[in-house]
């Protein structure tokens, strides 16, 4: 498997191709302050169009951040704001693809995508849609960290669980005669993860911890936030993959599949990507090469806890370049179809 170099920390955003402005910059507005991080690094960056996703629901913080972002984004390209539903992001994905077709025509667009504050479900469906129609071949995926996370009560961002569901367009094999394997990527939302695990009642569970974490002083946080779940698993079922290197997660899942511990004739695979954004990108890289294998599962929160004080943006990284991904096996029925 090809392993891309990186991640690469950047102080300033550059276009995908040197000397040519991007066709589009794609990002999402958020109540989280780190959605402003990319705007601070666009000093010489230019593109034809900026596509800003704006989620549903009232949010004074998000509106405040949009007001800050608008003049910055308009200085680098024509700004288009597209609405999105937390519960169903697919219309936004299709609208994004239609807009990109008007910009680039039949050629592959040059894209910079800031993955920082898209919801996990939305980001997976956006990648799938763009991938399916061949729009990820000249693309870079950028991520901005927050300076810290709230970890006092196991629910730093999401409050409650409104639904536990398979993500639309990410349904894999599901034979009633087989047992269920859940591969869950752990983060700082212990209650959300535990609710998903208890609801699915898998026959076997593999937990993946981000290692190393973003910062050395954060070591042990994930284990503390998920201590009950981890206490229920044998040690050999606890794995680790890099918090900022998607290829490491892709490799881990491939090795797990090939290990023979959970053969496909005995297990239905479920993957819950609740870890870092880089791990989610790695999960997508794995899934696109095995689209009939695993079902992506998601715990949708009741709401996001905007009343918590946010943390400013910290480091920004180029996490991955899809042009370096292995050839996938995408099937029909994608978000972009």
> CATH for 8-147+311-324?
3.40.50
How high is the pLDDT of residue 151?
Answer: 53
Its pTM stands at 0.91
Q: Does the pLDDT of residue 67 top 50, yes or no?
A: yes
Mean pLDDT of 30-36: 91
pLDDT of residue 149: 59
The pLDDT of residue 137 is: 94
Nearest to 50 by CA among 21, 11, 30: 21
> How many whole angstroms separate alpha carbon 110 and alpha carbon 24?
7
Tell me the pLDDT tens digit for each residue of 167-206: 999 999 899 999 999 999 999 888 889 999 999 999 999 9
Q: Is 164 helix (H, G, I), strand (E, B) or coil?
A: strand
Helix H or strand E encompassing 208: strand 204-210
**Predicted pLDDT of residue 311:** 75
Looking at residue 215, what DSSP letter applies? S
Average pLDDT over residues 277-285: 97
Q: Which of 104, 110, 30 is nearest to 311 (CA)?
A: 30
Mean pLDDT of 264-281: 96
pLDDT in tens, 206-239: 999 999 888 788 788 999 999 999 999 999 999 9
From CA 151, how far away is CA 148, in angstroms rounded?
Answer: 9
Closest CA to 32 of 186, 193, 147, 154: 147
Structure-token pair, residue 64: 């405040």
pLDDT, position 203:
97
Which of 109-123, 142-156, 289-303 bottoms out in mean pLDDT, i.e. has the lowest?
142-156
Going by their DSSP bridges, the two strands 303-304 and 111-114 should be labelled as unpaired
Residue in this structure with the two tokens 């229920």, named with its chain if needed? 232
Q: What residue segments make up the domains of the chain, in order of their start?
A: 8-147+311-324, 158-304
CATH 2.60.40 fits 158-304, yes or no: no
Question: What pLDDT is recorded for position 302?
Answer: 63
At residue 2, does pLDDT exceed 60? Answer: no
Confidence of residue 4 (pLDDT cuts 50, 70, 90): very low
**C-alpha angle 15-29-68 in degrees, rounded to nearest 5:** 85
Q: What is the band of 327 on the pLDDT scale with cuts at 50, 70, 90?
A: confident
How confident is the model over 79-126, as pLDDT tens digits?
A: 999 999 999 999 999 999 999 999 999 899 999 999 999 999 999 999
CA 186-187-189 angle, 5° bins: 110
* 158-304 shares the fold of 8-147+311-324: yes
């Amino acid at each position: 498997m090809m392993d891309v170099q990186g991640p690469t920390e950047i102080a300033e955003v550059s276009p995908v191709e040197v000397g040519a402005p991007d066709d589009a910059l794609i990002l999402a507005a958020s109540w989280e302050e780190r959605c402003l991080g990319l705007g601070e690094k666009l000093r010489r960056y230019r593109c034809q169009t900026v596509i800003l996703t704006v989620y549903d629901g009232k949010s004074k913080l998000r509106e405040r951040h949009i007001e800050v972002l608008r003049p910055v984004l308009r200085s680098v390209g024509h700004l288009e704001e597209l609405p999105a539903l937390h519960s169903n992001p697919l219309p936004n994905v299709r609208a994004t693809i239609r807009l990109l077709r008007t910009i680039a025509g039949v050629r592959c667009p040059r894209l910079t995508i800031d993955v920082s504050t898209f919801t996990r479900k939305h980001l997976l469906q956006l990648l799938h849609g763009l991938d399916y129609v061949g729009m990820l071949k000249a693309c870079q995926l950028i991520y901005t960290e927050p300076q810290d996370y709230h970890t006092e009560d196991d629910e730093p961002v999401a409050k409650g669980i409104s639904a536990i569901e398979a993500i639309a367009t990410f349904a894999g094999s599901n034979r009633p005669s087989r047992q269920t394997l859940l591969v869950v990527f752990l983060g700082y939302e212990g209650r959300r993860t535990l609710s998903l695990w208890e609801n699915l009642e898998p026959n076997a569970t593999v937990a993946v911890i981000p290692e190393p974490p973003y910062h050395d002083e954060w070591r042990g946080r994930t284990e503390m936030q998920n201590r009950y779940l981890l206490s229920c698993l044998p040690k050999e079922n606890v794995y680790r993959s890099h918090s900022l290197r998607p290829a490491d997660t892709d490799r881990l899942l491939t090795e797990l599949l090939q290990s023979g511990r959970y053969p496909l004739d005995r297990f239905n695979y479920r993957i819950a990507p609740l870890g870092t954004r880089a791990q989610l990108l790695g999960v997508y890289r794995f899934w696109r090469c095995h689209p009939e294998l695993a079902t992506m599962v998601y715990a949708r929160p009741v709401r996001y806890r905007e009343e918590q004080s946010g943390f400013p943006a910290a480091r920004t990284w180029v996490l991955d370049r899809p042009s370096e991904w292995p050839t996938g096996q995408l099937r029909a029925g994608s978000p972009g179809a």
